[in-house]
Structure 1
Amino acid sequence: MMSEIEIGRNKRGRRSYSFDDVAVVPSRRTRDPEDVSTAWQVDAYHFDIPIFAAPMDSLMSPATAIELGRHGGLGVLDLEGLWTRHEDPTAQLERIANASEGEVVQVLRDAYAAPVQPELITARIGELREAGVTAAGALSPQRTQEHWRTVVDAGVDLFFIRGTTVSAEHVSSDREPLNLKRFIYELDVPVIVGGCATYTAALHLMRTGAAGVLVGFGGGASHTTRETLGIQVPLATAVADVAAARRDYMDESGGRYVHVIADGGLGRSGDLVKAIACGADGLMVGAALARAEEAPGAGHHWGSEAHHPVLPRGHRVEVGTVAPLEQILYGPGLNAEGTTNLVGALRHAMATTGYLDLKEFQRVEVVVTT
């Protein structure tokens, strides 16, 4: 039963939980970490680890996407980012990293003022394909109509439509909105859409034919959506709600499985563990990978919300540089802060609770710790 809390005589609200509010409970059985599998598959694409790199310029360049792919994960390029606006964005990245707090918004806006160049979209996806890794790229819903054909013709393997929030029922009085169901049906590549944060919104996105949905709203390290718009959904509750939509959609569709990917608020290894425990299949990680020595942001992290021309809803944050990407993923860990050996921590948690694979681990018991 859902319980609501009375905020005042005229308003009630459902209690929701972040990953800080929940914890995983050990079971009667334990296993050796070497026996645990962290592999999963989206459509025809197999991955050794459930970690996707968020399409953000502070952590993903073509080079880092290729490196993550070779380590068993998936790097998703922002196809509206600096790498598709500039032939060589090195100077822009340096200016963003070195900008003072007072000037960083304008520096970001200047860097992203250049138009997206279709030929650079083709070139960046081509770099991934030539390296032999899964080629994945993301567009916002606003830019999908304009650039999707270029993306598909370039040979993208997985296509992400990613925004702060993506609706299957967007209404506009001045332009025809993207018809997700028709769009996804006509494409020959798997499409992953989001974000969403509720059962109903996720169920509608699943009905469009998406291969996966991104779950999250305003929860990442660089977001200020809660402060700016007053909107945020704690991610533990959001993931659990969307996992319920996945279950009910399987019954409705006769067995079609849609992957649930937690997106945002996954800064430390314990957050990754709890996201899977709440029902996520995959993990879209930002700040945790922005700490890599290879990350283009040089210890800084920002998203597309930070350079919005009218209403910024994010900022550049300093996350620091802790280790090479391989060590962040596979260790050895440098400290007990959960910033290195992310995969090792996930394997250890699964072994401690007695589960062999990610799908089994979604059944683990959790408790509320607040």
Structure 2
Amino acid sequence: MTYEIEIGRGKRGVRAYSLDDVAIAPNRRTRDPQDVSVTWQIDAYQFATPIIGAPMDSVMSPQTAIALGRLGGLGVLNLEGLWTRYEDPAPVLAEIAALEGDTTSGKHFNPAVTRRLQELYSAPIQPELITSRLAEIREAGVTVAGSLTPQRTQEHYRTVLAAGVDIFVIRGTTVSAEHVSKSQEPLNLKQFIYELDVPVIVGGAAGYTPALHLMRTGAAGVLVGFGGGATGTTRRALGIHAPLATAISDVAAARRDYLDESGGRYVHVIADGGLGTSGDVVKAIAMGADAVMLGSALARAEESPGQGWHWGMEAHHDTDPRGDRVRVGTVGPLEQVLFGPSHHTNGTSNLIGALRRSMATTGYSDLKEFQRVDVVISPYQAG
């Protein structure tokens, strides 16, 4: 059931809610946080936490992907990023961090920064670096995951599979099961996923129907949202926006209906974008997500390659950049960001501890149960 609102005489729209608009309502039962399970499994791969590191160069390097894997999460390497364009990306990362122009608020931008990002990312992708970076992660004994955009998947996926990737991620601003093009042969997701021997996570999707179509391609997981929440300017540049609370709920409904349609095939819903604090993580799972893909929340770790700065792939698009480099700062080592102890009161560290406490406070013992928690509409009031 949907309730449309009249915007004017010629247009109606559905009211949608962001994570800031909702809150969790405690129930009659509480638990000890130590009795709560936050484990998550997709296909044959089990993780101690539902945390996925976003494939963004300011968040995931081979080393941070390994570190996150050892801490019970899944790190996804951007296979179109600096690690596959430069043999040694350290000087490039240092230059990006040193570029003048503070975009801490997300409201200020510096065209010179954008222009330099475009120049640095114009270096060609080297297939041999895809192979060596993924081999480095595999040698560490953690689950190997890499990401390509739909536009680059046909070109590089054979290299990725030959390197031995465990989970393959196709991530774009908006990914559909049916892409129409008069100039090039589009990626046939259903055929592509059918021919692969590894689970595929694909997205973003922001509604019931597109998500259901992606599930029918055989995807193991669907990304909800457009990613790059802290850095993206898609709403300003393209007028496109999907409030995440409603989007997750809609895609979770598609998961439920596809489970019946397919005779029991469960597709994981992964919230992606705009999850900057532990409260956002908690509410995303409460709305129906199985796991969360984090960018800015992990970019604040001392080990993150962005050195306190954060940017996404949209920030260096060669013709239509839709993102900024933003200052997120650092709050501590990655382990402290995930498990504490926290010295911050704003939800930027001890993400898993906060998730456990929220689940315990509302009486739920695992993530699937927690998806049934009561929520209320409670728009956030600053100050």
TM-score, normalized by the shorter chain, greater than 0.5: yes
Counterpart for residue 28 of structure 2: 28
Counterpart for residue 225 of structure 1: 234
Superposed CA RMSD in Å reads 0.7
Q: Is the 8 A contact 1:222 1:302 kept in 2?
A: yes
The structure 1 residue matched to 2:249, chosen from 230, 240, 244, is 240
Matches within 5 A, 1:1-370: 1-101=1-101, 102=110, 103-217=112-226, 220-370=229-379
Runs of 4+ in 1 over 4 A off after TM superposition: none
**Alpha-carbon distance between aligned partners in 1 of 2:302 and 2:97, rounded to the nearest angstrom:** 14
**Alpha-carbon distance between aligned partners in 2 of 1:259 and 1:38, rounded to the nearest angstrom:** 15
Q: 1:172 is paired with a residue of what secondary structure? A: coil
Q: 2:76 is paired with a residue of what secondary structure? A: strand
User: Structure 1: any 5+ residue segments left out of the alignment?
Assistant: none
Residue 292 of structure 2 aligns with an amino acid whose one-letter code is L
Could you list the per-position Cα deviations for residues 328-359 of structure 1 after superposition, in whole angstroms to 9, with x for gaps in the alignment?
00000112100000000000000000000000
**Alpha-carbon distance between aligned partners in 1 of 2:337 and 2:228, rounded to the nearest angstrom:** 21
Q: 2:83 is paired with a residue of what secondary structure? A: helix
- Taking structure 1 as the reference length, the TM-score comes to 0.99
Query: Percent identity of the aligned residues?
Result: 72
Stretch deviating more after TM superposition (320-329 or 96-105): 96-105
Could you list the per-position Cα deviations for residues 29-76 of structure 1 after superposition, in whole angstroms to 9, with x for gaps in the alignment?
000000000001000000000000000000100000000000000000
Q: Is the 8 A contact 1:218 1:233 kept in 2?
A: no
**Alpha-carbon distance between aligned partners in 1 of 2:228 and 2:62, rounded to the nearest angstrom:** 26
Could you list the per-position Cα deviations for residues 255-283 of structure 1 after superposition, in whole angstroms to 9, with x for gaps in the alignment?
00000000001000000000000000010
Deviation of the 1:218 alpha carbon: 6.0
**Alpha-carbon distance between aligned partners in 2 of 1:308 and 1:99, rounded to the nearest angstrom:** 18
**Alpha-carbon distance between aligned partners in 2 of 1:268 and 1:301, rounded to the nearest angstrom:** 15
Residue 23 of structure 1 aligns with an amino acid whose one-letter code is A
Could you list the per-position Cα deviations for residues 234-267 of structure 1 after superposition, in whole angstroms to 9, with x for gaps in the alignment?
0000000000000000000000000000000100
Q: Is the 8 A contact 2:204 2:227 kept in 1?
A: no
**Alpha-carbon distance between aligned partners in 1 of 2:115 and 2:2, rounded to the nearest angstrom:** 45
**Alpha-carbon distance between aligned partners in 1 of 2:187 and 2:4, rounded to the nearest angstrom:** 35
Deviation of the 1:217 alpha carbon: 2.4
Q: 1:312 is paired with a residue of what secondary structure? A: coil
User: Structure 2: any 5+ residue segments left out of the alignment?
Assistant: 102-109
- Shift of the 190–218 alpha-carbon distance from structure 1 to 2, 3 Å rule, reads closer
- The count of residues paired between Structure 1 and Structure 2 equals 370
Residue 202 of structure 1 aligns with an amino acid whose one-letter code is A
Q: Is the 8 A contact 2:40 2:46 kept in 1?
A: yes
